[in-house]
Structure 1
Amino acid sequence: MKRSGTVLLGLLWLLQGCALSRPEKAPPEEAAHYKFPVALPTEGQQVLSGPIAAAVSLAMDDFLPLGHTPLSDASPMELCASRRDAYDVTAVPGSNEGVVFVSFSPRESACRDLPGPVRSDTPVVYAVDVARSRILSVQK
């Protein structure tokens, strides 16, 4: 009985972690006021293939996990650097089928002139095996 209780607690902890990693959604009353265009505009449109989108998602979830909160004494630079929109993403299919390289580079216009430790300009590159939904390696 003790083992099944441990397994149940582990499963509950895992499910709680999954729930915490979901994106925040606007409350229904706010969402009701948002109007979608009849057709998506083509200007600025970027279409990602399924494998590229999956690779970017897997790498981003490792690079800056949803629900990650900076330390309470984080500098303005550290707070900015913890936001996903502070990075540009480059994704390139690898020579091996199913592998995609995903690079995160600090956006030049983000976090500029903020006090705190300087961000590295060196991109972080992930090798992602899309078919197996796993990260093969990370180059920092």
Structure 2
Amino acid sequence: MAKGKYQEWQTPEKLALIEGWARDGLTEEQIAHNIGIKRPTLYDWKKKYSDISDALKRGKEVVDQMVAGSLVKRALGMTITNTTYKMVPIRDDVLEAKRARWRNEHQIDHPEFTRKELVQASIENVPTYEKIPIMVNE
């Protein structure tokens, strides 16, 4: 370990990085790896330097509160729903209907456009994929 490396990690920016890693759920071993030190060195730093210890504690508190909240809800019989999204292609008939609606709406605002220009613009402006929710109950 380079002499004084801990000082590099006592700046507000580096402490925020350590706190963020803890908040993201990284283990102390992973955080030590990110810093470029071994886990025992991080433990020594925690004992010697309160600012590093505090940054780790603050980051972990956020995660701990989230986990505790989820456990309480689950214990009370509440269902937790996580929503993720998947991009899927729009069916051709639905896509053509959306493009026709887009052309009709824009033809009113832009009577100077030719039909060919409106068709091309509708192809460029109407998305061919849509985001659909996928919900998982826990």
**Which structure has the bigger radius of gyration?**
2
Larger strand fraction of residues = 1
RCO (CA 8 Å, sep 6+): is it higher in 1 or 2? 2
In terms of fraction of residues, the more helix-rich structure is 2
TM bucket (normalised to shorter chain) is under 0.3
What TM-score, normalized to structure 1?
Answer: 0.22
